[in-house]
Amino acid sequence: MHNLLLPLLILGHVFYPAYSTIQVLLTTGDKQHLLSPQPNLIWSTGQSGNIIIDTTKTYQTMEGVGASFTDSAAYLMNKKLSSAHRTALLNELFGKEGANLNMIRIPLSSSDMATADFTSDDMPQGKSDPLLEKFKLNKHHTDSIPILQEIKNIQPELSIMGTPWSAPGWMKSGNRGWWFRKGIIAGTLNEIWVEVYAEYLTKIIEAFASYGLVLDTMTLQNEPAFTPWDYAGMNLTAEQEANLAISVGKALQDRSLDTKILVHDHNWDIAYRATRVLENATAAQFIHGIAFHCYGGDVSAQSTVKAAYPDKEIYFTECSGTLSSGNFLSNLMWNVNNLVIGNIRNWGKTVMLWSLALDKKGNPNVGGCKNCRGVVTISNGKFTKNEEYYVLAHVSRVAQKGSYRVESTERYQTVRSVAFINPDNSSSLILCNDAQNAVHISIQDDNMVFTYTMPSNSVASFSWTQDSLFLENKRLIY
């Protein structure tokens, strides 16, 4: 490791800011570089940067980077991969030398990416279970738990988020009836069951915790303003979601559970709905943050909600590529510009995509998206990394859990940036150049500068450390 030492005299001591060399990871739209380490860069002085980093101005902390561990992903890993290939895949996804992902979102019922329709308290037609005596964590969950435990062993800093797609059918009204796929298609939560449903959700949290899988956060409903007609879903108005937040918040308190409540979990273009939930002052006391999806509107909506409710955190929880949209280059550039740089510069604490794994036809699914693409594709007993893998890895390899986003010049020519300072005092930077031409750029941190030529249509992640050393009479003090 090369260190460049520049002495400063402070109060009679010689002060040396010691900068390490800069490590670089590069991915290009032509696939010539895929998270490829580049030669280390070194610092210099005597010039100013095009992109200036100011670590004295901090914003949100980062909580995690990852994707949803859907029932489909669990099925493919369990049934279509050998044990050795599965372990290799999990290390590629969650290992420090792989993507180093550190967050998982678990559907708490079936979703569109599932092999069957289910909740954890399905009842026969005309029956209900107000005391939740029949509650039992569904077999689709228990079958996936060994994989989740293996993930946690690989990635000890794993954060887990839970999201329900539907309440059990007997708790709902306006659905298509128990006879139609257990009654969990369409409909809304019947107000007479709100408190029971809150207890049901806490039971799920406790059930996962019994396997050593603590749900750090929970969104109250996936896409509550959308009513799917061919897979599990549940429409909730803003008023209903606020009332549910109160009931769930109280149930969590009663059981001394620390799971944080998130609301909205829907698109940017209806962000006004999130503010309507938060207008309920009682509900707002129980709400930790707001979750967003990418399927409508612009990422700047996150900043609009943050400005209105600065004490609430912003989470980005879902976006999926499709098999029929774009190519590797265009998908890479869109995702990094919007879901990485745009999301994080608009207060996002998380970068989360949709299904962690699907097959080459976007299966298994029980409805909804017929051509979604997983972060990885599992086919013929093997796995392939898709563009989403590299998008996530460019963040999770350099921005640690608990890192602060810090001020940086947003754009120089066609190059955009977002920067971090990590809990271990290392710094990192992500750059994206979505132009057809390379751009020579200089990055300044304090009074130090390094230069780099960003290839066309590329994303690069940089990381370095800065330590402070005091020397007096040529003797290291610390």
Q: Mean pLDDT, to the nearest integer, of 309-323?
A: 97
Q: Hey, what domains does the chain have and what are their CATH numbers? A: 4-60+405-476 (2.60.40.1180), 63-398 (3.20.20.80)
Q: Is the pLDDT of residue 322 over 90?
A: yes
pLDDT at 9: 44
Q: Is the pLDDT of residue 363 over 90?
A: yes
**Which residues touch 83 (CB under 8 Å, ≥6 apart)?**
none
pLDDT digit string, tens, across residues 211-233: 999 999 999 999 999 999 999 99
Q: Which of 7-16, 31-40, 163-172, 436-445 has the lowest mean pLDDT?
A: 7-16
Axis-axis angle for helices 194-209, 139-154 (nearest 10): 50
Q: How confident is the model at residue 177 (pLDDT cuts 50, 70, 90)?
A: confident
pLDDT at 18: 61
Residue matched to tokens 């918040």: 249
Q: Is the pLDDT of residue 477 over 70?
A: no
pLDDT at 467: 61
Type of residue at 408: S
Q: Which of 16-30, 146-160, 171-185, 399-413 has the lowest mean pLDDT?
A: 16-30
Q: Is the pLDDT of residue 89 over 50?
A: yes
Q: Is the pLDDT of residue 37 over 50?
A: yes
Q: Is the pLDDT of residue 462 over 70?
A: yes
Beta pairing partners, 448: 445
pLDDT at 17: 53
pLDDT digit string, tens, across residues 114-148: 999 999 999 998 999 999 999 999 999 999 999 99
Q: Mean pLDDT, to the nearest integer, of 466-476?
A: 40
Q: Are strands 415-421 and 426-433 parallel, antiparallel or unpaired?
A: antiparallel
Distances (CA, A) of 408 to 60, 192, 372, 421: 14, 51, 34, 11
Record the pTM: 0.93
Q: Mean pLDDT, to the nearest integer, of 422-449?
A: 96
Ramachandran angles phi, psi of 148, nearest 5°: -60, -40
Q: How confident is the model at residue 3 (pLDDT cuts 50, 70, 90)?
A: very low
**Secondary structure string (H, E, C) spanning 114-169:** CCCCCCCCCCCCCCCCCCCCCCCCCHHHHHHHHHHHHHHHHCCCCEEEEECCCCCH
Concatenating the DSSP letter of every residue in 168-180 gives -GGGEEEES-TTT
Question: Which two tokens mark 43?
Answer: 């610092």
Rg of the chain, C-alpha, whole Å: 24
Q: How confident is the model at residue 470 (pLDDT cuts 50, 70, 90)?
A: very low
Distance of CA 332 to the CA centre of its chain: 17
Type of residue at 401: K
pLDDT at 98: 97
For the chain, give the mean pLDDT.
93
Q: How far apart are CA 138 and CA 204, in angstroms?
A: 10
Which of the two residues, 193 and 17, has the higher pLDDT score?
193
pLDDT at 471: 32
Q: Is the pLDDT of residue 272 over 80?
A: yes
Q: How confident is the model at residue 8 (pLDDT cuts 50, 70, 90)?
A: very low
**Which residues touch 395 (CB under 8 Å, ≥6 apart)?**
65, 340, 344, 351, 430, 461
108: nearest Cα among 14, 190, 219, 186: 219
Q: How confident is the model at residue 10 (pLDDT cuts 50, 70, 90)?
A: very low
pLDDT digit string, tens, across residues 56-79: 999 999 999 999 999 999 999 999
pLDDT at 178: 78
pLDDT at 478: 24
Q: Mean pLDDT, to the nearest integer, of 93-115?
A: 97
Q: Is the pLDDT of residue 6 over 90?
A: no
